[in-house]
Structure 1
Amino acid sequence: MTTDAAPGPIRTLGMFGAGRLGSVLAALAARAGLRVLVTSSRTPALIAGPMAAIGAEAASPATVIAESDAIVLALPLGRYRDLPADALQGKLVIDAMNYWWGADGIRPDLDDPRTSTSELVQRHLRGSRVVKGLGHMGYHDLEDEARPAGAAGRKAIAIAGDDERDLDAVAQLVDLLGFDPVVAGSLASGIMLEPGADAFGADVGADELREMLAGFATSRRGIVVARARGGRLFPTGA
């Protein structure tokens, strides 16, 4: 799938979530020269100080949506249905959420190998353009491992999505944040970046990350996914 209009460069990055992951990503983006707007379940005044300390701005959800070129979801996955689907129409949304039973409770609907969790998010955000990314590396590694392009030992972050131009925009963002972007495939392929997959938690370079993705089909998680999907790892065309 491709959209009719190519996305412009990401100059203002929105962040839904001011927890550990959201704060680290916001700091990296601000350090890279982006304007960063952050919203959370708390009022902007309550997070204004911590956000200012990392170069970001606390804002209301409406301001984040209206003024951001792309929006990162760094919330507990179990809250994805609370996202304002109508307000996010047409927006490029980067899904960094993962299922954790400790935060989300026991949710079989979030742990179903027949679908990736980003596909669930896309179904809810029916008018948005969802790309899976920025959620498979631990926040400590994100904070510590950012390097300029071409630097020795630079680590990689994988992304997955259905629109090549959106993937290109997010890949440019990943590079700007200090990591080599690796395209995993379609949004359905985002299941290779979820908990239980070898790439989840990986703090490795681009070549090693590609090897992990290439080996998913024969990995323990890949076999579980293929069996749940009737022998097909990904839908036709994914």
Structure 2
Amino acid sequence: MTQTIGMIGAGLVGKAVARLAVSAGYHVVVSNTRGPESLAELARELGPLARAGTVEEAIAAGDIVILSLPLASFANLPANAFAGKVVLDQTNYYPGMGGFHRADLDSGELTSSELMQRQLSGARLVKGLHNLSWLHIASNARPEGSPERTTLPIAGDDNAAKGAVTRFIETIGYDVIDAGALAESWRIEPGTPIYFWRYAPHVPEGVSGDEAKRIYQQPGRPVSKDEARTLIADATRPSPIGGTLEGMPQVHIDLFLEQASPETVKG
């Protein structure tokens, strides 16, 4: 039976996942806070397997509901609508962005996905597809059996939900490794060895801006399952906790500003 993916958030990351999903044969309902009308062009681009809907429609339709939005917006989600749903959490904690800070995240009392699970208490939440850029979500995907296929980590407390998310991520182009429970998901958050940098290609110093952009949009070197296990096991909790824009390469920021919509840039 064909499954449906409910997408909440249609920024660069959400669009990249939606494109992979429809290419793999999934139905997709895309949504955002501005309403279906703002996504009509995207739905047409994605083709007959996709349609635009409200956030509530995306949740109701989704066999898996993907959160591809800023963590700071967690409290605005219709929490009761997620009861029983498998939720793939792509959010990351970037303290200070949009003025968003939380003491329980800064202290390590909670991981960001534990916070999201607490908010969506009836959901079956899995952290994943959060640790590489929209560019590399698209460029690193490979069919099963390809020697260039790379490995992504997930974390969660519900084994059946992790199985569903694993099958989805495998189908759209990646191998998957289980990094443990949500309490251990700090091992795959910003500032850890398996977050972001390992999936991006190296851009040599001294190249022109256009050449840097060309190189940066290429696939990174594949991560094997064994390497992913080692990166996760060897992780130490970052201090301070959370990501920073200063930690991103300038070419990444330049491409983001070029490709993001004005609404995304404004947050």
Task: Give the shorter-chain TM-score range.
Answer: 0.7 to 0.9
Matches within 5 A, 1:56-135: 56-101=50-95, 103-109=97-103, 110-135=105-130
Separation in 2, partners of 1:106, 1:62: 25
Deviation at 1:220, TM superposition (A): 5.8
Corresponding residue number in structure 2 for 1:235: none
The corresponding residue for 2:262 is none
Q: Any conservation in 1 of the 2:2–2:27 contact (CA below 8 Å)?
A: no
Shift of 1:18: 0.3
When residues 102 and 90 of structure 1 are mapped into structure 2, their CA distance, relative to the original with a 3 A threshold, is same
Deviation digits for residues 25-76 of structure 1 (CA, Å, limit 9, x no counterpart): 1111011000011100112111111232123321112211211101000010
Give the TM-score, by structure 1 length: 0.84
* Post-superposition offset of 1:105: 2.2
| Larger deviation, residues 53-62 vs 144-153 | 53-62
* Matched ranges for 1:37-56 at <5 A: 37-55=29-47, 56=50
CA distance in 2, matches of 1:102, 1:176: 35
| TM-score (normalizing by structure 2) | 0.75
Tell me, in whole angstroms, the C-alpha distance in 1 between the residues paired with 2:233 and 2:224.
14
Matched, 1:23 2:15: yes
Asked if 1 retains the 8 angstrom alpha-carbon contact of 2:16 and 2:134, the reply is yes
**SS of corresponding position for 1:65:** helix
Out of 170, 173, 176, which is 2:171 matched to?
Answer: 176
Letter in 1 for 2:145: G
Structure 1 segments of 4+ aligned residues over 4 angstroms from their partners: none
Worse overlay, 56-65 or 117-126: 56-65
User: Which consecutive residues of structure 1, in runs of 5 or more, have no partner in the other structure?
Assistant: 1-8, 226-238
Question: Which of 174, 186, 195 is residue 181 of structure 2 equivalent to?
Answer: 186
Question: How far apart in 2 are the matches of 1:83 and 1:220?
Answer: 28
For 1:142 and 1:112, locate their aligned partners in 2 and report how far apart those are by CA, in whole Å.
30
Uncovered stretches (5+) of structure 2, i.e. residues with no partner: 200-222, 242-267
Q: CA shift at 1:10, angstroms?
A: 7.2
Query: What is the aligned partner in structure 2 of residue 236 from structure 1?
Result: none
Aligned 8 A contact 1:10 1:69 in 2: no
With over 3 angstroms needed to count, the CA separation of the structure-2 counterparts of 1:220 and 1:13, relative to structure 1, is closer
Q: Secondary structure at the match of 1:87?
A: helix
Out of 209, 227, 232, which is 1:208 matched to? 227
Q: Which residue of 2 aligns with 1:149?
A: 144
Q: CA RMSD in A?
A: 1.8
Deviations 1:113-141 (A, max 9, x none): 22210000011111111111110122111
- 2:14 maps to a residue whose letter is G
The residue identity in structure 2 corresponding to 1:140 is L
Task: Report the 3-state secondary structure (helix = DSSP H, G, I; strand = E; otherwise coil) of the residue aligned with 1:148.
Answer: coil
Check whether the contact 2:35–2:54 (CA below 8 A) recurs between aligned residues: yes
Contact 2:186 2:237 in 1 (8 A): no
